[in-house]
Amino acid sequence: MIDQQKLYEIWVYLQAEPLFWLTLTIGSYLIADYFYRRSNLFPLLNPVAISVLIVSVILLTFDIQYERYFDGAKFIHFLLGPATVALAIPIYKKWDLILSNSRAIFISLIIGSVFAIFITYGLSSYFELQQELILSLLPRSVTAPIAMGISELIGGIPSLTAIITIITGIIGASLGIFVFDLMKLKKMEARGFSLGLASHGVGTARAMSRDTNAGVFAAVGMGLSGLVTSVILPLFIKFIF
Amino acid sequence: MLNSIFLIFFFQLVGEFIQKFLELSIPGPVIGLFLLLIMLLLSKKKYYKIPVNFQINLINSAENLLNYLPLLFIPVGVGVVMHLSLLEDNLVPVMLVIIIGTLLTLAVTAFVMERLLKVVNKDD
């Protein structure tokens, strides 16, 4: 007969340790990645989306606070910073390709970044959302730390912007390919760049896992759209509100 | 390996410092990315030399880390699901704004760039 009291004590001990949450996070990712590969990289089985779902369902089922989970998983979260710095390496390796297309990059960057702001504003106004929510939505295309900074600056709610931004990333990363295929766009660099521009890090991760050139252009798109948006969005706000 | 990890962490650290010091809206790691890139590009122009071994090492470490880039978004992603209630009654319109807005932005940006790029199609 299993000693239930003892099992409970072990569980109480383990769930307070990072090891359990790190193992759960990596395990969920491996499972999601396995099915993603088995499905021949079917876009809707995006590994980030699926593993987020697996972990969330477990937390909700066992009534575990997010803060408890994050306290362990933060060691994985920490690596996002160094990974961002590491993007310098693939960009460096493809520098000549980037330089020879700098005009294409510049024009697409400006058009894409401005379009992202206008379409978000237009749609939010159409749905008659409150001003505070609109302001939290506007910076959603750029990487979360930049988006939260802009949100605070223009009067949005940074934590809400963080949520909206991550959802934007996951949507772009998992559905983007349907748009590209529908439009019969063939150039991996164009697909990658727009993924980085419109859905930041999650989109870049996705592009990087499919094609090196796509990944490099995604990283460039993400970095540059972050810069451009943090300059033009506050100007746009002054103009509109 | 340890050299490369040190270098990457160091550049992030410098980036975070610059961000706080100059109160920039650009995150520290993105500044670190630019600085590391500049350092690598300057070495290519032969302003100074980075040992070949070290370069290979750096490339390998960075690419290893980047292989797991999607994994690194899971902790934040879970936070989103757990805090969806913050969106209250606005969940549906907000999701629609995000989905339509993102897909259209992807379409416009990729369309413009596809026409301007000077690269050879892989399948042609």
Average pLDDT over residues A82-90: 92
Do B46 and B83 fall within a single domain?
Answer: no
Which of these ranges, A35-44, A66-75, B114-123, has the smallest mean pLDDT? Answer: B114-123
Do B105 and B47 fall within a single domain?
Answer: no
Percentage of residues of chain B with pLDDT beyond 90: 55
Q: Of the residues B49, B67, B85, which one is the last residue of a structural domain?
A: B67
Q: Report yes or no: A163 and B86 within 8 Å, Cβ to Cβ.
A: yes
- Split at pLDDT 50, 70, 90, the class of A42 is confident
* B94 inside domain: yes
B15: its two tokens = 């980036």
Residue B44: per-residue pLDDT: 82
pLDDT above 60 for B123: no
Q: Which residues contact A221 (CB under 8 A, 6 or more apart)?
A: A105, A109, A112, A192, A193, A194, A195, A196, A197, A204, B109
* SS3 of A166-226: HHHHHHHHHHHHHHHHHCCCCCHHHHHHHHHHHHHHHHHHHHHHHCHHHHHHHHHHHHHHH
Q: Of the residues B67, B93, B116, which one is the last residue of a structural domain?
A: B67
Residue A152: per-residue pLDDT: 87
Read off the pLDDT of residues B27-47 as tens digits, 9 standing for 90 and up.
Answer: 889 899 999 999 999 988 877
- Split at pLDDT 50, 70, 90, the class of B124 is very low
More confident of the two residues B11 and B55: B11
Tell me how long chain A is. Answer: 241
Residues of A in contact with B12 (CB under 8 A): 81-82, 84-85
Do B99 and B47 fall within a single domain?
Answer: no
pLDDT above 90 for A238: no
* B72 inside domain: no
pLDDT above 50 for A34: yes
Q: Report yes or no: B94 and B87 within 8 Å, Cβ to Cβ.
A: yes
Residue in chain A nearest B61 by alpha carbon: A86
Do B8 and B62 fall within a single domain?
Answer: yes
Do B105 and B63 fall within a single domain?
Answer: no
pLDDT above 70 for B121: no
A175: its two tokens = 């559905």
* B8 inside domain: yes
* B120 inside domain: yes
Q: Report yes or no: B5 and B11 within 8 Å, Cβ to Cβ.
A: no
Average pLDDT over residues A24-31: 96
From chain A residues 5-64, the ones with a CB under 8 A of any chain B CB are: 25-26, 28-29, 33, 47-49, 51-53, 55-56, 59-60
B9: its two tokens = 């962490």
pLDDT above 90 for A239: no
Percentage of residues of chain A with pLDDT beyond 70: 100
Q: Specify burial of residue A120 (Cβ count, 10 A radius: 0-12, 13-18, 19+).
A: buried
Q: Which residues contact B96 (CB under 8 A, 6 or more apart)?
A: A123, A127
Q: Report yes or no: A114 and B109 within 8 Å, Cβ to Cβ.
A: no
Do B21 and B2 fall within a single domain?
Answer: yes
Read off the pLDDT of residues A197-224 as tens digits, 9 standing for 90 and up.
Answer: 999 999 999 998 889 999 999 999 998 9
Residue A124: per-residue pLDDT: 96
Q: Round to whole Å and give the CA distance between B5 and A194.
A: 30
* B118 inside domain: yes
pLDDT above 80 for A1: no
Read off the pLDDT of residues A154-190 as tens digits, 9 standing for 90 and up.
Answer: 999 988 999 999 999 999 999 999 999 999 999 999 9
Residue numbers of the domain that contains B41: 1-67
Neighbours of A26 (CB within 10 A): 16
Residue A159: per-residue pLDDT: 87
Q: Which residues contact A143 (CB under 8 A, 6 or more apart)?
A: A165, A200, A201, A222, A226, B27, B30
- Split at pLDDT 50, 70, 90, the class of A98 is very high
Do B86 and B56 fall within a single domain?
Answer: no
Do B62 and B81 fall within a single domain?
Answer: no
Do B15 and B63 fall within a single domain?
Answer: yes
Residues of B in contact with A101 (CB under 8 A): 116-119
- Closest by CA to A142, choosing from A134, A151, A133, is A151
Which SS3 state, helix, strand or coil, does residue A94 take?
Answer: coil
- Split at pLDDT 50, 70, 90, the class of A77 is very high
B71, B88, B108, best to mutate vs chain A, most A CBs in 10 Å = B71
Q: Does B74 touch chain A (CB under 8 A)?
A: yes
Do B49 and B97 fall within a single domain?
Answer: no
Do B93 and B115 fall within a single domain?
Answer: yes
Sign of the dihedral defined by the CA atoms of residues B78, B83, B87, B91, in that order? positive
Q: Of the residues B31, B49, B67, which one is the last residue of a structural domain?
A: B67
A234: its two tokens = 């506050």
Q: Round to whole Å and give the CA distance between B40 and B49.
A: 10
- Total number of domains constituting chain B: 2
Read off the pLDDT of residues A111-166 as tens digits, 9 standing for 90 and up.
Answer: 999 999 999 999 999 999 999 999 999 999 998 888 988 898 899 998 899 999 99
Q: Round to whole Å and give the CA distance between A80 and A91.
A: 17
Average pLDDT over residues A8-24: 91
A43: its two tokens = 């876009």
From chain A residues 148-187, the ones with a CB under 8 A of any chain B CB are: 149-150, 153, 159-160, 162-164, 166-172, 175-176, 179-180, 183, 185-187
